[in-house]
Amino acid sequence: MSSKVLTCRQAWFSEILSEFHFSITYCPGHLATLLDSLSRWDNVYPERGEDFISKNPMNLQKLIKKDEVQPSRFFAVKVECWSNLIESFQKKLWQYSQYRSILQELGKGRSVQDYSLDSSSQLLFFKDWVVVPNDPTIQLSILQKRHDSPLAGLPGQEKTLKLVKQDFHWSGMTQFIKDFVSSF
């Protein structure tokens, strides 16, 4: 029998939980039918025509008021956050020869396989993703916006990679994200 080496986070939780006298026992989902059925509330989900916030057992109506939820406010915040980053994309892409030649070809109206240029924002796209220059500061700011966002929680490596891959592409992205997330 060998002892397991704990990560920093596991050791931290272990120290906190050691003050309490209880045992955590894993039970596979198919064996936990009795516990699962007891832990489900039938009144959590709203009936037809009812508002979910008013039926929510956590009582979130005090935190979120109906008049505060307006899509126009969220859109304005999102545009403001990314505008400086988009400008730095446009400037930095011309500094790298591989992207400069692609941008020149697309500017002349020629097609380059898997690449396209958005006419309004002047952003370079690889398939459906925005091409990010090989600049660690830009890549880090993208990761901070996606990983440290209050809406994302604190996702792990896979979820952060999935969040970033929704919109962006750069060479060595997977390793960069793994290094970033493992530094926490």
Domain boundaries, the chain: 72-182
pLDDT at 150: 64
Contact by Cβ (8 Å): 117, 124: yes
pLDDT at 36: 54
Closest by CA to 103, choosing from 128, 121, 123, 87, is 123
Architecture of domain 72-182: Orthogonal Bundle (1.10)
pLDDT tens digits for the chain (184 residues)?
Answer: 566 788 888 888 888 888 887 776 777 766 666 655 555 555 555 555 555 555 554 444 445 566 666 655 554 444 445 677 777 877 888 888 888 888 888 888 888 888 888 877 778 888 888 888 888 888 888 888 887 766 666 677 888 888 888 888 898 999 988 888 887 6
Task: Give CA–CA dist 7/140, Å, rounded.
Answer: 24
Query: Which residues have CB under 8 Å from 129's CB, separation 6+?
Result: 165, 167, 168, 169
Please give the model's pTM, rounded to 2 decimal places. 0.51
pLDDT at 78: 46
Q: Do strands 124-126 and 115-117 pair parallel, antiparallel, or not at all (unpaired)?
A: antiparallel
Residue type, 156: G
Q: Give me the residue label for tokens 């915040």.
A: 77
The strand order across the sheet containing 129-131 reads 115-117, 124-126, 129-131, 168-169
